[in-house]
Amino acid sequence: LYHCYRNKVFAATTVKDGRARWMDDPITDIEALEKSPNSMRTKMELLLMRVQAEFCHALEEQDGEKKFHVDRWMRKEGGGGGGITCVIQDSPVFEKGGCNISVLNGMLPPDAIAQMRARGKDLPQDKSLPFFVVGLSCVIHPKNPHVPTLHYNYRYFEVQKEDGSTVWWFGGGTDLTPYYLVEEDVVHFHKTLKDACDKNGNRGLYPKFKIWCDDYFHVKHRGQRRGVGGIFFDDFDQPNQEQAFQFVKSCAESVVPSYVPIVKKHKNDSYSYAERQWQLLRRGYYTEFNLVYDRGTKFGLVTPGARYESILMSLPLYAKWEYCHKVEPGSKEEKLVTVLKNPKDWV
Amino acid sequence: LYHCYRNKVFAATTVKDGRARWMDDPITDIEALEKSPNSMRTKMELLLMRVQAEFCHALEEQDGEKKFHVDRWMRKEGGGGGGITCVIQDSPVFEKGGCNISVLNGMLPPDAIAQMRARGKDLPQDKSLPFFVVGLSCVIHPKNPHVPTLHYNYRYFEVQKEDGSTVWWFGGGTDLTPYYLVEEDVVHFHKTLKDACDKNGNRGLYPKFKIWCDDYFHVKHRGQRRGVGGIFFDDFDQPNQEQAFQFVKSCAESVVPSYVPIVKKHKNDSYSYAERQWQLLRRGYYTEFNLVYDRGTKFGLVTPGARYESILMSLPLYAKWEYCHKVEPGSKEEKLVTVLKNPKDWV
């Protein structure tokens, strides 16, 4: 279904923005990107190429041993496009991590359009319409239970209407899933995201997107959030395309400073067998969220021609489910669960 | 939310059908059962009590060491009823297994009725109606990768219409998920189910329910069945209630002879680290099926007041997800996957 290879030769190009460190060539032809430097498709693809590379290299530096394995895949069904999936597995610091760019063109079926209409998009009923999406999606499951799991995802979406006009929006977010609560780390994480949100004078966005994040990453049947949150947004198109892009850029660039210091601080912490078992149970709940509730995963798995390996990359290497597991009153585990049941403000 | 306890005292009663070996007292009052011995609710609850007990005791005998832990729970929301959840975990032979009876009364909301109407039930639109269900649901994940995982589930459903009449049906099935293909075991399993189906002269049912099983337990995004199938049926109400019950009884009674000889045969097989890792990967796919596709799990998790521990009891103790795992050509693993991709006839 897919043609995977590691493209080792970096093309000579005038798209200068950090290309020497990219994980691979962009999915869109470099010539095409150079010809339309002001198109939002180009700007977003180049931003995400750079963020992917900076993030992967920062983690490789923390790991000190293994490099991300790079799979380039091209989509053969349902339109054009492809992706660059970078995976690190069973390294000294990371149990499993994936960081995936995808650039997809295709036709949206009428029921997908209906869902967008229900969210307020000005799109026609009962039509199939061409779409374009470029996104970067990442989940990192470290080995050490004292290093939290990280997830982020930033994307730009376009739907072409029949009159030739385009409906566009951004979506994304960054959120943290610790196994043990270290309050100053959570404060650092949220503070970094808040500063990134505030950077362009958007003072109201962090509080709004923080609550959205708590609401979204909710393992409803357990009455617990997946983690300590962060930010989450969708359908973002205000006040105009350029300023919305600057906001998304600022958020995407805050991933490394929000997370890598926490990895560095805890990657060599010692941990017990019981702490490892607790991490595995929490990874079971993480799996439940992703397979039962996550919109992106569910949408991906029912999309014909979707690359399920890149979608399920988010699942941990190992997970555990114990019947009726209970945390001990007064324990470190209970301290975490209390916050997951009642999300709090961190900044 | 639930009150769990082990009821150690067996009531003195004239409901004689094997009560000395029941896992616990029936959920419905014994007096009430005695007063309506010919009601299908009574007959089905007593059948499932007996099948649960025979099955759990047969596995305990194979294990030789651990007993099932029994949780009795009563439902406090959305109507009456409760359940008897029997769990065995980390025993010599079984990594995790659960066998759960539930007896539930409540009101079905209009959208649940709409789904039943879509399946052809003669029920009114836009109404809430009282329902009753008694079911036995079971998943066994053995430790040894040479012993297959078993799942079965038998249930009787009633919806009360406004004119006082009742719409009723049976559903259920038994299916096997081996990690390595031992053809004669699969033949034994299917043959036992076929004999059970044929017992009452219903020669057409096994082939129909065998195909239904292959279609239902399909991990669609991977293009593989969860296992080597068995039988699966729903909305079963032919030719009349008593004969339909006799069919379900015959199927439910075939669980022990279809599975226990396979446990006995392989429980002491030696296995390698690689075989254990393969089992964990397959358990990841099992988890994907249950959380992404299984109707019962999805329905259960969104039902207010449902007991998620009894629903998620079906998940393995440990599961594993590797990025882009591939089976080696010509290997024993590939031999299994070939059959999972192209289900075959076994009898």
What token pair was written down for B345?
Answer: 């006839």
Q: Which residues of B touch A4 (CB under 8 A)?
A: 324
Residue A121: predicted pLDDT: 93
pLDDT tens digits for range B44-88: 999 999 999 999 999 999 999 999 999 999 987 767 899 999 999
- Confidence class for position A14, pLDDT limits 50, 70, 90: very low
pLDDT(B184) > 70: yes
Half-sphere exposure of B293 (CA within 13 A, CB side): 18
What token pair was written down for B18?
Answer: 């094997």
In contact, B252 and B136? CB cutoff 8 Å? yes
pLDDT(A7) > 70: no
Contact A324 B318 (CB under 8 A): no
Q: Which residues of B touch A292 (CB under 8 A)?
A: 291-292, 298, 301
Contact A301 B222 (CB under 8 A): no
Q: Which residues of A touch B309 (CB under 8 A)?
A: 323-324
Residue B24: predicted pLDDT: 95
Reduce the secondary structure of B190-207 to three states and give it as a string.
Answer: HHHHHHHHHCCCCCCHHH
- Strand-strand pairing, B229-236 and B166-177: antiparallel
Residues B224 and B222: their CA atoms lie apart, in Å, by: 5
pLDDT tens digits for range B208-250: 999 999 999 999 999 999 999 999 999 999 999 999 999 999 9
Q: Which residues of B touch A321 (CB under 8 A)?
A: 96, 312, 315-317, 319
Q: What does pLDDT average to over chain A?
A: 92
Residue B15: predicted pLDDT: 58
- The burial of B125, by beta-carbon neighbours within 10 Å (0-12 exposed, 13-18 middle, 19 or more buried), is given as exposed
Residues, chain B: 347
Q: Tell me what the mean pLDDT of segment B183-212 comes to.
A: 95
Residues A98 and B323: their CA atoms lie apart, in Å, by: 9
Reduce the secondary structure of chain B to three states and give it as a string.
Answer: CCCCECCCCCCCCCCCCCHHHCCCCCCCCHHHHHHCCCCHHHHHHHHHHHHHHHHHHHHHHHHCCCCCEEEEEECCCCCCEEEEEEEEECCCCEEEEEEEEEEEEEEECHHHHHHHHHCCCCCCCCCCEEEEEEEEEEEEEECCCCCCEEEEEEEEEEEECCCCCEEEEEEEEEEEECCCCCHHHHHHHHHHHHHHHHCCCCCCHHHHHHHHHHHHCEEHHHCEECCCEEEEEEEECCCCHHHHHHHHHHHHHCHHHHHHHHHHHHCCCCCCHHHHHHHHHHHHHHHHHHHHHCHHHHHHHHCCCCCHHHHHCCCCCEEECCCCCCCCCCCHHHHHHHHHHCCCCCC
For residue B298, what is the nearest residue in chain A, using CA coordinates? Answer: A292
Q: Among A291, A313, A317, select the one facing B320 at the smallest CB separation.
A: A317
pLDDT(B8) > 50: no
Q: A1 or B142: whose pLDDT is higher?
A: B142
- Confidence class for position A301, pLDDT limits 50, 70, 90: confident
In contact, B287 and B319? CB cutoff 8 Å? yes
Reduce the secondary structure of A203-231 to three states and give it as a string.
Answer: CCHHHHHHHHHHHHCEEHHHCEECCCEEE
In contact, A66 and A88? CB cutoff 8 Å? yes
**Which one, of B96, B57, B45, lies nearest residue B249 by Cα?**
B45
- Confidence class for position B260, pLDDT limits 50, 70, 90: very high
Those residues with Cβ within 8 angstroms of residue A307's Cβ, 6 or more apart along the chain or in another chain = A1, A2, A73, A75, A83, A85
Q: Nearest-CA distance from A207 to chain B in Å?
A: 29
pLDDT tens digits for range B123-180: 998 899 999 999 999 999 999 999 999 999 999 999 999 999 999 999 999 999 999 9
pLDDT(A338) > 60: yes
Residue A5: predicted pLDDT: 36
- Confidence class for position A9, pLDDT limits 50, 70, 90: very low
Q: Angle A270-A275-A278 (CA atoms, 0-180°, nearest 5)?
A: 155
Of B146, B151, B188, B190, which is the active-site residue?
B151
Q: Tell me what the mean pLDDT of segment B83-105 comes to.
A: 96
- Confidence class for position A16, pLDDT limits 50, 70, 90: low
Least confident of A91-105, A164-178, B13-27, B187-201: B13-27
What token pair was written down for A122?
Answer: 């000005």
- The radius of gyration of chain A's CA atoms, rounded to the nearest angstrom, is 20
- Mapping DSSP to helix (H, G, I), strand (E, B) and coil, where does residue A108 land? strand
Residue B126: predicted pLDDT: 87
Residues A344 and A300: their CA atoms lie apart, in Å, by: 31
Half-sphere exposure of A272 (CA within 13 A, CB side): 4
* Element housing A10 (H / E): none
- Mapping DSSP to helix (H, G, I), strand (E, B) and coil, where does residue A295 land? helix
Report the share of chain B in percent with pLDDT over 70: 94
pLDDT tens digits for range B16-36: 556 778 999 999 999 999 999
AA identity, residue A177:
T
Contact A318 B319 (CB under 8 A): yes
Report the share of chain A in percent with pLDDT over 70: 94
AA identity, residue A287:
T
pLDDT tens digits for range A147-185: 999 999 999 999 999 999 999 999 999 999 999 999 999
AA identity, residue A227:
G
- Confidence class for position A78, pLDDT limits 50, 70, 90: low
Contact A71 B324 (CB under 8 A): yes
What token pair was written down for B315?
Answer: 């998940």
Residues A326 and B325: their CA atoms lie apart, in Å, by: 33
- Which of A16-25, A122-131, B186-195 is predicted most confidently? B186-195
Q: Nearest-CA distance from A345 to chain B in Å?
A: 28
As for the ipTM of the complex, it is 0.91
Contact A312 B324 (CB under 8 A): no
- Confidence class for position A56, pLDDT limits 50, 70, 90: very high
Please report where in the chains the tokens 């006082």 appear, as a residue. Answer: B164
- Phi/psi class of residue A339: alpha, beta or left (left: φ > 0; alpha: ψ in -120 to 50)? alpha
- The burial of A168, by beta-carbon neighbours within 10 Å (0-12 exposed, 13-18 middle, 19 or more buried), is given as middle
pLDDT tens digits for range A245-271: 999 999 999 999 999 999 999 999 999
**pTM exceeds cut of 0.95:** no
**A/B interface, count of CB pairs below 8 Å:** 83
pLDDT tens digits for range B291-332: 999 988 987 887 767 789 999 999 999 999 999 999 999 999
- Confidence class for position A20, pLDDT limits 50, 70, 90: confident
pLDDT(B12) > 70: no
pLDDT(B13) > 50: no
Residue A200: predicted pLDDT: 82
pLDDT(B94) > 70: yes
- The radius of gyration of chain B's CA atoms, rounded to the nearest angstrom, is 20
- Mapping DSSP to helix (H, G, I), strand (E, B) and coil, where does residue A21 land? helix
What token pair was written down for A272?
Answer: 């017990």
Query: In B143-178, which positions are buried (b, 16+ CB within 10 angstroms) versus exposed (e)?
Result: bbbbbbbbbbbbbbbbbbeeeeeebbbbbbbbbbbb
In contact, A276 and A141? CB cutoff 8 Å? no
pLDDT tens digits for range A190-208: 999 999 999 988 889 999 9
